[in-house]
Amino acid sequence: MSPVTVAMPDTILIIPAEPAKPKARRKRRVQVAVVSDVHLGTYGCHATELLRYLKSIRPQVLVLNGDIVDIWQFSKNYWPPAHMRVVRYLAGLAAKGVKIHYLTGNHDELLRKFAGLKLGNFRLDNKLVLDLPHGRTWLFHGDVFDVTMRHSRWLAKLGGHGYDLLILINRSVNYLLAKLGRPRVALSKLVKERVKSAGSAVSNFEETAAAIAADEGYRYVACGHIHQPEIKTLHTEKGEVIYLNSGDWVENLTSLEYTAETGWQLYYYNDDPLMQQAAEADAADAAEELADSNPAQLLEGLLAEFKIRA
């Protein structure tokens, strides 16, 4: 058999190398990340920033603690590509092995019917307990305290059933209010409107959450709903509880992160210099894409401009 010969081309085409893209930044490893109150489908949602943040971390567990998709607002038909990109990215994370817990909130309460749903690494529930080295952490959205803060505590003492009962009470009251043409009850709305009583409503919310968590023997309780990022130790009759709130992606752009080394910490997008750099890189990419996208169209535009000026 004759050796295989490779025909050498007469001319060597020199193909310019792709401009080296900056190496993908190393993702920050966290054991747990908690994001809440994203409100996809509303004008206030910072989906682009959220996606940038999600891409910067590598969590083992990602908790979506309520009001992620704003189903109330869906009639307004607002669903830009950036919002879809978040959904797709989350689906991709689950496919890659990240455990995603979607906990329902009041703006996505339609999903409550499907609580208990499991799809691969994706779980849908109303609440979640994480057993972490720093202590057991109880996570739920927090809208169960909207209608009746005073009775929340003893109702929740009934355990899982009490919690479900609170959800039912809130839903029924809001259903009746809607029938009467009156606005729903939502603490988050009160806080956003910054009325005088919002301060005490927030502290009531935090104290109620902490008291219930202490009754149940949890070290940490993590809520969302009131759009007020927070980490603080609260003293209850049953001892100390650390109250956590992941804030929101409408105004504060915050999340909660847990690592075995640091425990629970608040993350602020606006204080992260890496996010600023990423935003600049994204803007440059977008400009480049635009320049490459349709030369004919660009030329047409230029010519049109020429004519006008001529």
Measured from the CB of residue 247, what is the shortest distance to Mn ion in angstroms? 12
Rounded Cα distance, 33 and 53, in Å:
11
Q: Does 67 bind Mn ion (CB under 5 A)?
A: yes
Measured from the CB of residue 39, what is the shortest distance to Mn ion in angstroms? 9
Measured from the CB of residue 120, what is the shortest distance to Mn ion in angstroms? 26
Q: Does 106 bind Mn ion (CB under 5 A)?
A: yes
Q: Does 174 bind Mn ion (CB under 5 A)?
A: no
Q: Does 123 bind Mn ion (CB under 5 A)?
A: no
Q: Which stretch binds Mn ion (CB under 5 A): 27-35, 60-68, 116-124, 155-163?
A: 60-68
Q: Does 126 bind Mn ion (CB under 5 A)?
A: no
Q: How many residues belong to the site for Mn ion (CB under 5 A)? A: 5
Q: Which stretch binds Mn ion (CB under 5 A): 102-110, 116-124, 201-209, 266-274?
A: 102-110
- Which of 105, 162, 229, 247 lies at the binding interface for Mn ion (CB under 5 A)? 105
Measured from the CB of residue 270, what is the shortest distance to Mn ion in angstroms? 22
- Which of 225, 227, 242, 267 lies at the binding interface for Mn ion (CB under 5 A)? 225
Please identify, using beta-carbon distances, which residue of 47 and 132 lies nearer to Mn ion. 47
Using CB under 5 A as the binding rule, the residues of this chain from 255 to 294 that contact Mn ion are none
List residues near Mn ion by CB under 5 A: 67, 105-106, 143, 225
